[in-house]
Each structure stands twice: as C-alpha cells, then as structure tokens.
Amino acid sequence: MSTATPVSPRGTLGVDTPKGPAQILANRRGLAKLLLLAVVAAVVVPLLSAKYGAAWPHALTVDVSGPLDKTSSWIIDNRDSHWLFVYFLGHLSNAVVLSVRGVYLLLLALGWTGVTAGVTLLAWRVAGWRIALTALLSFVVSGLLGMWVPTMQTLALMVVAVVVSVAVGALLGLAAGLSDRLFRILRPVLDTMQVLPAFAYLLPVVLVFGIGVPAALLATVIYAAPPMARLTALGLRGADAGVLEASASLGATGRQRLLTARLPLARKELLLGVNQTIMMALSMAVIASVIGAAGLGDRVYQALASVDVGAALAAAIPIVLLAIVMDRTTAAAGEKIGADTSAAGPAFLRGWRAWTGVAVVTAALALLGRLSGSLVWPTGWAVDIAHPVNDFKEWMVNHLYSGVPVVGGTADWAAHFTNWVLNPLRDGLTALPWYGTLLLVAALAWLIGTWRTALTAVLAMAAIGVLGVWKPSMNTLSQVLAALVVTLVLGFAIGILAAGSKRLEAILRPVLDVMQTMPQFVYLIPVVALFAVGRAPAAAAAVVYALPAVIRITTQGLRQVDPAAMESARSLGATRWQILRQVQLPLARPALLLAVNQGVVLVLAVVIIGGLVGGGALGYDVVTGLATGDLGLGLVAGVAIVCLGLMLDRVTQPTERRTTGKGA
C-alpha cells in the first residue's frame, strides 16, 4: 500500500566510482570471514560427518510432541475449572465478546444509511473528498454484492481489534521509548514478530480460547500490535534532542515533556503505526476465519468449500475496498498532520463545527434509514457477480490449461517448473549434509551482516533440526527459494519499467493495491485450476502475494536515485541501458536488497496457504495441526517456518534495519 517503505539510498557516490579503498577493505573483510569459516569447517566437518553422517542425526533431535499433547489435554480438561481460565482468560474472552457485540449492535442500529454516511463524512473530514467518494463507493458495492451483514461483522471485529492493538502497541512503544533497558529487551522480540507468518499465531490461541471470535481477535491483536509498538518507540527515540533540551530548560516535568514535546514530535510515526496496524489487522481478520472469526473472511472460506470463485470474490471485494479506504484515510491523516501544522491546523483541528455537522448528518440519515424500514441493505438491490465470474474462470481455465500453441498451457509450464526447478532444488537441499547447510547459512549471513546475524541464522537452522523436521523444512525452503527467484525476476523487471514511465506506475498502482489486500484464499482455486495440484500452484500464490511489495520498493528505489548522477551520465553519452546498469541499479542497491528481504518474508508468509493447494511439507503440517487439533504436529511445523523466516531474514538483511512492517 502507500505505506511501502520509503527508501533513501545512503550517500550519492560519483558516477564512475573506481574501487575505493573502503570497498577493497570491505572485500578483504569478507574474504577474511570466509577464510575463518573455511578453517572452522575444515576442523569440524570431518568430525561431524564421522560421528553423525549427512542426514540430521537422530541423537540431536528432541521429541516435543508428547509434552505438547499433554499440555493440550490439560487445557481442554481444565478450561472450565482452573483459576487461570476462570478468573483471568475467561474475563478477557468475555470482554472481547461484549465489546465486539457492542460495536456490532451499534453498527446495526445505525443502519446502512447511517454507517455509509458516517464513514463517508469521516473520510471526507480526514482525507478529502476523493477518499470520501471511495468510501461511499465501497459501502454501496458491499451492499450491492449482498455482503452488508458480513461487512458489518468484519467492521465490528476490526474496530475492536484496531483499538486494542493500537492501545497495547502504544503502551509497549511508550515504555520502550522511555526506558533504554525495555527498548533493548523488546526490540529483538518485535523484530522477530515481524517475520512470523500469520497462521503461526492461530494454533496456540485456539487451544486456549477455543474457536470463535475471542481467539480470532486475540490472534489479530498479537499480529497487529508490534508495528505500532516499534513505530511508537522509534518516534519517541527519534525526537529532536534540541527541542527536548529547550523544553526541559523551561522547567517542564517529565510528563509535560512527554505530552507537549515528545509525543507531538512523534506524530508522524504514530500515525504510520496506526496505518500499519489497521492493514495487518484486516489481513489477519480474514485469515482468522479459519478459527471461526465470522464476517467476510468466513464467506470467502465457505465459498471455497463449493469451489465457487465467484462467491469468494463477492466477499473479497468489500475486503479490498475496506482496506484501500482505511489505508488511504490514515495515510492522508498522517500527511496532513506531518505537513505544516499552522496551515492545516485551523481547518482540521478547530473544525468542531464541521464535526458536529458530520454527527448530525449521520444521525439524520440513520433515522431516515430506520423510518424507511430497512436497517440492513435492502435485498432487492443486490447484484449477482458470482455467475459471470465463474464463467470467466471456466473460460480462462478451458483455454489456458494446456495445448496452447507454441507456448504450451499453464499446466505444462507448471509441470516443467516442478520437474526442472523445484525437484532438483529440493533434492539438492535434502541431499546437502546438514553441517554443509549450516556452514552455507553462516557464510551468507556473515558476509551480508555481522557475526551476530550469522549466529542467529545458524541457531535458527539448528533449531529446525533439533525439532526433527529437517527434511520437510528443506522441501519448504526449496519452494520458498524458487518462488523468490521468480518474484524477484518479475518484480525487478516490472519495477524498472515502472520507474521509467509515470503512466505505467499510475496504471499499476490500483492493481498492486488489489493484489496486496486480496485475501489469499480467493486465488487458491484459480491457481489450482491453472497449475494443477502440487507445489507449482503454491509457488504461483506466493509470487502473486509477494510481487507488489518488490515492485513498489524497486520503483521507489530507482526513482530516488540522484537525478544529477543520471544527468551527468547522459551528458557523457551513455545509452539508457548503460545508465540503468551502471548508475541507477548500483545506486539503488540498498532498495534492491530491501526488496529481496521483503520478498523473502512475504513469500514465506504464503507457505501455509501453499499447504492448502498441495504444497505439502511444513505448510501442510500446520494446516493439518489446525484441522485436527494436533498441537504437536502443527506447532512444531509453525515454529520451523518461523525459524526458516528468521534465517532467511538474517541472510538477506541489509546492514540497515528496515523500519516498516511487512508491506501489508
């Protein structure tokens, strides 16, 4: 979305940098690291291979399924009697039910006229008439699609989830922003949580809270609060020291300084945090339909059972529209506040009259809707899109699946991709002795980062072995790598084209928005219909999901290359291709690295969805664990995915940490 990481290439080097001394030194340092590793390897590898062999040694695994199953039984048996549940978690769950119900009843009471008017006017006040129009349109569309009630359910869930996530995140961020020690403790935790795939959160909360809204909401909060906490802490820490000193010298107390100087200075980060939290909460609210979250996600999920893409799409469109409206509104609020306050201030802050107007108009329209007799969208005004969509899908599948002249059908591509890319990669990774894999990971992570990142990466990999899921993990890793390569090739190519043409970028923007916010469940059926069951459709789903972020970051990175450097290259008579290859790409290197890193994280996030279309391996295990309540299987596979994510993140992590979320 529009929050995709702003990337600033650090330093603008000259056009033709010969190998500067710093670079040579860097190269030497890399060489030294490799040499050191090689020495370690020469000593350790023969010992390990003699003792354990190439497959992950059985002696080094720990079977955790027994204790996990016992825990799960204990929870089920004690859920209605133990004090922990009855006096603490029970209240938590009850509070969730009560507040979601309260919001839901309020929305229903406002009726469709009231809700539509209220949100539209709110968007107008905060973000201008364009976004207000989008808001109006999206509510009308969700009504027309016959999705009014599920939309209200999702909205109620979202309102509560976002309020709680923002509150929890802001509190954590405030604490971390004020205390150095807390910051040091929290930072790695929050960093790690950014890499976790959403599905990994579901299993533990289901176990404790059972299926239903409380579990879904808590999973959403756990998923969506970290970006708020990170950005709050960053904003507070980044406050201008001069301003703080000035306010301290005026005799402000700690609290006054916090309220009058530090928080206002961090406004921009705070709003970015809210924006990120909303986007992540929405994507999770859909995934959480697997554990009974109801609402739009549930409609998508139910449509899947009868293999009905059209019905799934009808529920998915309101989700996409909601996401775009929420994103644009909060982003616009952020820009407004970040802009010159004195100019934007009066209209925005002193507009209490306007706000009263908003409230009055909303109330009036709500009343009007009530008098006209229908609180939910009138059923007569519904449009059926399921049939045309399904017909289109049928047509596409019939004509593309196989036997297309010259290029071959999609099923043939999928078979080639599986046979020539996925299979060799999987077999290679599985055949590689485990210590070889660990060394490779160490070398890569150390070259690109510090010894700390290398250590984290190696420990994460070792944890996978210890949990006894080495083989499926290598299978998953091969799928992730293959999907990543496809994503990067496509993403860089499209990104370069878009950076060169404003028009293409403008055309791409809504397409990318839709790709990023479309619930992944919706494209499950089309990918299977096109690529047959197996690992190829899983890879296709991953590419669709990860591509937008890669394209965006690439385009932005290339755009921000110093125009002076390009101008001087052009004046030296370089062709367009030469400028791209020798000036733009090298200068945009940090952005490209960031794109790789984001690509990895996003591709990994789809592994579990891949398990639903025949991806097998870890994704399938997590799905099985969720479906059969097998905590041992599901949790171990989930942890393994997390470990893979940590390792891949560290291996691809540019030295500078990224500051925004998963690009959702």
Partner 1 sequence: MSRTRTRTLAKLIGTSAVAGAVLLSLSGCGKADMTKQGSPFAAAKGSKSVTLSVQTWVGAQSNVAVAKYLLEHQLGYHVDTVQVDEIPAWDALSQGRVDAILEDWGHPDQEQRYVKDKKTITAAGGNGVTGHIGWYVPKYWADKHPEVTNWKNLNKVAQQLRTSESGNKGQLMDGSPSYVTNDKALVKNLNLNYEVVFAGSEAAQITQIQQFAKQKKPFLTYWYEPQWLFNQVPMVEVKLPKYTDACAAKGTKDPTSIDCAYPTTPLQKFFNTEFAKHGGSAAAFLKKFSWTKDDQNEVSESIASSGLSADEAAKRWVDKHPDVWKKWLPKK
Binding mask 422-461 for partner 1 (x = CB under 8 A): -x--------------------------------------
Question: How is 364-416 classified by DSSP, letter by letter?
Answer: HHHHHHHHTT-SSPPGGG----HHHHHHHHHHHHHHHSS--TTT--HHHHHHH
Cα–Cα separations (whole angstroms), residue 642 to 451, 453, 601: 21, 16, 10
Q: How far apart are CB 633 and partner 1 at their closest, in Å?
A: 9
- Of residues 302-331, which lie at the interface with partner 1 (CB under 8 A)? 302, 304-308, 310
Q: Rule CB under 8 A: choose which of 65, 71, 194, 390 binds partner 1.
A: 390
Q: Does residue 399 touch partner 1 according to CB under 8 A?
A: no
Residue located via tokens 């549930």:
298
Q: Rule CB under 8 A: choose which of 239, 286, 441, 528 binds partner 1.
A: 528
- Of residues 258-287, which lie at the interface with partner 1 (CB under 8 A)? 258
- Of residues 150-169, which lie at the interface with partner 1 (CB under 8 A)? 153, 156, 167
Q: Rule CB under 8 A: choose which of 25, 533, 564, 572 binds partner 1.
A: 533
How remote is the C-alpha of 485 from its chain's centroid? 19
Residue located via tokens 């940590």:
646
**Which of these segments, 27-35, 452-460, 627-635, 651-659, binds partner 1 (CB under 8 A)?**
627-635
Q: How far apart are CB 658 and partner 1 at their closest, in Å?
A: 28
Q: Rule CB under 8 A: choose which of 194, 402, 560, 568 binds partner 1.
A: 402
Q: Does residue 577 touch partner 1 according to CB under 8 A?
A: no
DSSP letter at 201?
A: G
Cα–Cα separations (whole angstroms), residue 171 to 178, 226, 278, 280: 11, 11, 17, 18
**Which of these segments, 27-35, 173-181, 481-489, 544-552, binds partner 1 (CB under 8 A)?**
173-181
Identify which of 465, 372, 407 has the alpha carbon closest to the alpha carbon of residue 48: 465
- Of residues 115-154, which lie at the interface with partner 1 (CB under 8 A)? 153
Q: How far apart are CB 58 and partner 1 at their closest, in Å?
A: 18
Binding mask 216-255 for partner 1 (x = CB under 8 A): --------------------------------x----xxx
Q: Does residue 619 touch partner 1 according to CB under 8 A?
A: yes
At position 149, the amino acid (one-letter code) is V
Rounded to 10°, the helix 213-237/267-287 angle is 160
- Burial 65-76, CB ≥16 within 10 A → b, else e: eeebeeebeebe
Closer CB to partner 1, 511 or 533, in the complex: 533
- Of residues 192-221, which lie at the interface with partner 1 (CB under 8 A)? 206, 209-214
Residue located via tokens 């005026």:
250
CA distance from start to end of the chain: 7
Query: Sign of the C-alpha dihedral, residues 296, 299, 304, 308?
Result: negative
Closer CB to partner 1, 386 or 438, in the complex: 386
d(CA 117, CA 333): 19
Closer CB to partner 1, 92 or 566, in the complex: 92
Q: How far apart are CB 188 and partner 1 at their closest, in Å?
A: 20
- Of residues 46-85, which lie at the interface with partner 1 (CB under 8 A)? 76-77, 79-80, 85
Identify which of 647, 642, 648 has the alpha carbon closest to the alpha carbon of residue 619: 642
Closer CB to partner 1, 79 or 570, in the complex: 79
